[in-house]
Structure 1
Amino acid sequence: MKRFTTICSLMLAGSVGLMAQTKKAPTTSALDKKVDAMIASMTLEEKVGQMTEVTLDVVSKTGASSHQLDDAKLNEAITKYHVGSILNVSGTAYDRQHWYDVISTIQTVAAKDRLKIPVIYGIDAIHGVTYTVGSTLFPQEIAMAATFNKDLAHKAGEITAYETRASYIPWNYSPVLDLGKNPLWPRIYETFGEDPYVVKTMGAAIIKGYQGNNVGDKYHVAACMKHYLGYSAPLSGKDRTPAWIPDRYMREYFLPSFADAVKAGAKTLMINSGEINGVPIHSSKYMLTDVLRGELKFDGIAVTDWRDIQYLYTRHHVAASQKEAVMLAVNAGVDMSMVPYEYTFFDYLVQLVHEGKVPMWRINEAVHRILKVKYELGLFERPVGNPSDYPKFGSEEFRAASVQAAREAITLLKNNNNVLPLKKEMKVLVTGPTANTMRSLNGGWSYTWQGEQTDKFAAAKNTILEAIQQKIGKDNVTYEEGAKFDSLANVDDAVKAAKKADAIVLCLGELSYTENVGNIDDLNLPDAQFKLAEELAKTGKPVILVLAEGRPRIVTKADNMAAATVMTYLSGNEGGDALADILFGDVNPSGKLPVTYPRYANALVNYYRKNLENGNSDDSHGYNPLYEFGYGLSYTSFRYSNLHLSNADLKDGQTLKISVDVTNSGQRQGKESVLLYISDLYASIAPDTKRLRGFDKIDLKAGETKTVSFNITPADLSFINDQSKSVTEPGEFKIQLGDQTQNFNYLSTKVQAARTGKL
Structure 2
Amino acid sequence: MSLGKISPEYVNRSLSLFGKLFTLGGLLIGLQTGGSRLQAQTYKDSSLSPRVRSLNLLSKMTRAEKIGQLSTLFGWEMYQKSAVSSSSRIQITSAFKKAIDSGHIGMLWGTLRADPWTKKTLITGLNPEQAVEATNALQHYAITHSRLGIPLLLSEECAHGLMAIGTTVFPTAIGQASSWDTELIEKAAAAIALETRSMGSHIAYGPILDLAREPRWSRVEETYGEDSYLVSKMGSAFVRGLQGKLTATAAVDSNHVLSTLKHFIAYGIPMGGHNGAPAMLGIRALYDDYLPPFKEAIQNAGALSVMTAYNSIDGVPCTANELLIKDLLKNHWGFQGFVVSDLGSISGIYSTSHTAPNAVGAAAAALSAGVDSDLGGYGYGKNLDSALTAHLVSAAQLDSAVYRVLRLKFALGLFDHPYRSISNANGVNSEEQKRVNEQLATESITLLKRTVLPLKESLRSIAVIGPNADNLYNQLGDYTAPQDTGSVTTVLRGIREAAGPNTRVLYAKGCSIRDTSTAGFAEAMAVAKKAEAIVVVLGGSSARDFKTQYQSTGAAISTQSTVSDMENGEGNDRSTLSLLGRQSELLEKLATTGKPIILVLINGRPMAIEKEADLAGDILEAWYPGATGGKAIAKILFGHASPMGRLPISIPRSVGQLPVYYSQPKGSGGHYVEGAAGPLFAFGFGLSYSTFTYSDFKISKSENQQGLQLQVSFQVTNAGSQTATDIQQIYISDETSSVVTPVRKLVGFSRCTLAPGQRVHQQITIDPKELSLYNLRGDQLIEKGIFNLELARYAGDPDCLKARLEVNQDYIFDHWR
Q: Quick one: higher RCO (CA 8 Å, sep 6+), 1 or 2?
A: 1
The residue number in structure 2 matching 1:410 is: 445
Give the one of 398, 401, 412 matched to 2:436: 401
Matched, 1:434 2:464: no
Tell me whether 327-336 or 391-400 shows the greater mean CA deviation. Answer: 391-400
Partner amino acid, structure 1, of 2:732:
I
Tell me whether 191-200 or 496-505 shows the greater mean CA deviation. Answer: 496-505
Give the one of 570, 584, 590 matched to 1:536: 590
Give the one of 155, 162, 168 matched to 1:122: 155
- Number of residues of Structure 1 aligned to a counterpart in Structure 2: 729
Q: Distance in 2 between matches of 1:75 and 1:24?
A: 36
Partner amino acid, structure 1, of 2:376:
V
Partner amino acid, structure 2, of 1:744:
L
Partner amino acid, structure 2, of 1:50:
Q
Give the one of 308, 318, 322 matched to 2:359: 322
Tell me whether 619-628 or 259-268 shows the greater mean CA deviation. Answer: 619-628
Contact 1:20 1:289 in 2 (8 A): no
Alignment of 1:25-424 (within 5 A): 25-26=21-22, 27-28=25-26, 30-60=49-79, 69-88=91-110, 89=113, 90-92=118-120, 93-112=125-144, 113-133=146-166, 135-214=167-246, 216=251, 217-263=253-299, 264-340=301-377, 345-389=380-424, 391-416=426-451, 418-424=452-458
The residue number in structure 2 matching 1:499 is: 529
Partner amino acid, structure 2, of 1:745:
E
Matched, 1:577 2:631: yes
Give the one of 465, 471, 474 matched to 2:492: 465
> Residues 425-444 of structure 1: CA distance to partner in whole angstroms, max 9, x if unpaired?
34111111111111222111
Q: Distance in 2 between matches of 1:253 and 1:457?
A: 41
1:67 positional shift: 9.7
Q: Distance in 1 between matches of 2:53 and 2:702?
A: 55
Structure 2 unaligned regions, length at least 5: 28-48, 544-567, 793-799, 813-817
Tell me whether 14-23 or 557-566 shows the greater mean CA deviation. Answer: 14-23
Q: Distance in 1 between matches of 2:579 and 2:706?
A: 50
Give the one of 683, 687, 692 matched to 1:633: 687
Output the TM-score relative to the length of structure 1: 0.92
Tell me whether 540-549 or 505-514 shows the greater mean CA deviation. Answer: 505-514
The residue number in structure 2 matching 1:757 is: none
Partner amino acid, structure 1, of 2:464:
V
Q: Distance in 1 between matches of 2:459 and 2:529?
A: 17
The residue number in structure 1 matching 2:552 is: none
Matched, 1:24 2:20: yes
> Residues 259-308 of structure 1: CA distance to partner in whole angstroms, max 9, x if unpaired?
01111111111110122222211111122212211222212110111111
Give the one of 767, 789, 808 matched to 1:747: 808
Contact 1:613 1:622 in 2 (8 A): no
1:726 positional shift: 1.4
Contact 1:732 1:743 in 2 (8 A): yes
Contact 1:181 1:232 in 2 (8 A): yes
Contact 1:239 1:515 in 2 (8 A): no
Contact 2:133 2:422 in 1 (8 A): no
CA RMSD of superposed structures (Å): 2.5
Partner amino acid, structure 2, of 1:477:
V
Q: Distance in 2 between matches of 1:319 and 1:694?
A: 44
Q: Distance in 1 between matches of 2:211 and 2:609?
A: 23
The residue number in structure 2 matching 1:8 is: none
1:391 positional shift: 4.2
Q: Distance in 2 between matches of 1:46 and 1:12?
A: 32
SS at match of 1:634: coil
SS at match of 2:186: helix
Pair 649,538 (structure 1): closer, same or farther in 2 beyond 3 Å: farther
SS at match of 1:121: strand
Q: Distance in 2 between matches of 1:710 and 1:593?
A: 20
> Residues 579-621 of structure 1: CA distance to partner in whole angstroms, max 9, x if unpaired?
00000110111100000011111112111123322327x9775
Contact 1:12 1:724 in 2 (8 A): no
Tell me whether 60-69 or 162-171 shows the greater mean CA deviation. Answer: 60-69
The residue number in structure 2 matching 1:716 is: 770
Partner amino acid, structure 1, of 2:350:
Y
The residue number in structure 2 matching 1:425 is: 459
The residue number in structure 1 matching 2:33 is: none
Q: Distance in 2 between matches of 1:296 and 1:91?
A: 40
Tell me whether 517-526 or 33-42 shows the greater mean CA deviation. Answer: 517-526
Q: Distance in 1 between matches of 2:664 and 2:745?
A: 9
1:318 positional shift: 1.7
The residue number in structure 2 matching 1:5 is: none
- In percent, how many aligned pairs have the same letter? 30
Partner amino acid, structure 2, of 1:222:
L
> Residues 644-692 of structure 1: CA distance to partner in whole angstroms, max 9, x if unpaired?
1224988861312210110111111111111111111221222211110
> Residues 485-527 of structure 1: CA distance to partner in whole angstroms, max 9, x if unpaired?
1223411221122122111101110112565432222211125
Contact 1:673 1:698 in 2 (8 A): yes
Pair 750,180 (structure 1): closer, same or farther in 2 beyond 3 Å: closer
Partner amino acid, structure 2, of 1:491:
F
The residue number in structure 2 matching 1:524 is: 578
Q: Distance in 2 between matches of 1:563 and 1:245?
A: 40
Contact 1:596 1:627 in 2 (8 A): yes
Partner amino acid, structure 2, of 1:467:
G
Pair 491,388 (structure 1): closer, same or farther in 2 beyond 3 Å: same
Partner amino acid, structure 2, of 1:728:
I
1:393 positional shift: 2.1
